[in-house]
Amino acid sequence: MQSERRRIAVLGSTGSIGRQTLDVVRAYPDRFEVVALAARSNVALLAEQAREFAPQLVVCTGDSPDLQRQLDDTLPGCLRGLDALTTAATHPAVEMVVAATSGLVGVPSTLAAIRAGKTIALANKETLVMAGHQVMAEARSRGVAILPVDSEHNALWQCLRGERSSEVRRLLITASGGPFRQRTLDEMRNVTPAQALAHPTWRMGPKVTIDSATLMNKGLEVIEAHWLYDMPYDKIAVVVQPQSIIHSMVEYRDDSIKMQASIPSMRLPIQYALSYPDRLEREGTALAQPLRWGEIKQLDFDEADLERFPCLRLAYEAGRAGGSAPAALVGADETAVNLFLSGAIHFTDIAIVVERTLERHNIIANPDVEAVQAVSVWAQAEAARVAEELRGAPVPLSHVDE
What are the residues binding Mg ion (CB under 5 A)? 150-152
Angle in degrees, 0-180, between the axes of helices 216-229 and 125-142, rounded to the nearest 10: 0
Of the ranges 29-37, 38-46, 161-169, 292-300, which one interacts with ligand NDP (CB under 6 A)?
38-46
Side-chain-side CA neighbours of residue 186 (13 Å): 0
Nearer to ligand NDP, 100 or 328 (CB): 100
Residue 100 interacting with ligand NDP (CB under 6 A): yes
Site string for ligand NDP, 258-297 (x = CB under 6 A): --------x-------------------------------
105 binds, among Mg ion, ligand NDP, none (CB under 5 to 8 A by kind): ligand NDP
**Are residues 153 and 248 in contact, defined by beta-carbon separation less than 8 angstroms?**
yes
H or E stretch covering 303: strand 302-303
Residue 61 interacting with ligand NDP (CB under 6 A): yes
Q: How many CB atoms sit inside 10 A of residue 306's CB?
A: 16
Residue 16 interacting with ligand NDP (CB under 6 A): yes
State the nearest-atom distance from the C-beta of 358 to ligand NDP, in Å. Answer: 20
Sign of CA dihedral 233, 121, 276, 283: negative
Residue 86 interacting with ligand NDP (CB under 6 A): no
Residue 331 interacting with ligand NDP (CB under 6 A): no
Nearer to ligand NDP, 110 or 124 (CB): 124
Residue 178 interacting with ligand NDP (CB under 6 A): no
- What is the number of the residue whose Cβ is closest to Mg ion? 150
Query: What is the three-class DSSP state of 399?
Result: helix
Residue 38 interacting with ligand NDP (CB under 6 A): yes
Nearer to ligand NDP, 128 or 384 (CB): 128
Q: How many CB atoms sit inside 10 A of residue 159's CB?
A: 22
Residue 41 interacting with ligand NDP (CB under 6 A): yes
Among 21, 86, 90, 101, indicate the residue that binds ligand NDP (CB under 6 A).
101
Of the ranges 9-17, 179-187, 281-289, 295-303, which one interacts with ligand NDP (CB under 6 A)?
9-17
380-402 burial by CB neighbour count: b if 16+ within 10 A, else e? bebbbbbbeebeeeebeeebbee
Nearer to Mg ion, 53 or 157 (CB): 157
Query: DSSP string covering 209-277, please?
Result: HHHHHHTHHHHHHHHHHHHHHT--GGGEEEEE-TT--EEEEEEETTS-EEEEE--S-THHHHHHHHHTT
68 binds, among Mg ion, ligand NDP, none (CB under 5 to 8 A by kind): none
Of the ranges 50-58, 94-102, 186-194, 248-256, which one interacts with ligand NDP (CB under 6 A)?
94-102
Residue 224 interacting with ligand NDP (CB under 6 A): no
State the nearest-atom distance from the C-beta of 152 to ligand NDP, in Å. Answer: 8
Q: How far apart are the first and last CA of the chain?
A: 43
**Are residues 125 and 150 in contact, defined by beta-carbon separation less than 8 angstroms?**
yes
Which residue in 314, 299, 154 sits closest to 239, CA to CA? 299
Residue 49 interacting with ligand NDP (CB under 6 A): no
Among 138, 150, 224, 349, indicate the residue that binds ligand NDP (CB under 6 A).
150
Among 6, 7, 8, 17, indicate the residue that binds ligand NDP (CB under 6 A).
17
The span from the CA of 327 to the CA of 308, in Å, is 23
Residue 373 interacting with ligand NDP (CB under 6 A): no
Which residue in 41, 101, 32, 100 sits closest to 67, CA to CA? 41
Interface with ligand NDP: number of residues (CB under 6 A): 28
Which residue in 68, 9, 16 sits closest to 38, CA to CA? 9
Nearer to ligand NDP, 244 or 348 (CB): 244
Residue 97's φ and ψ, nearest 5 degrees, are -110, 120
Residue 338 interacting with ligand NDP (CB under 6 A): no
The angle formed by the CA atoms of residues 379, 183 and 248, to the nearest 5 degrees, is 70
Q: What DSSP designation does 396 have? A: P
- Contact residues toward ligand NDP (CB under 6 A) are 12-18, 38-42, 61, 85, 100-103, 105, 123-126, 150, 204-205, 208, 266
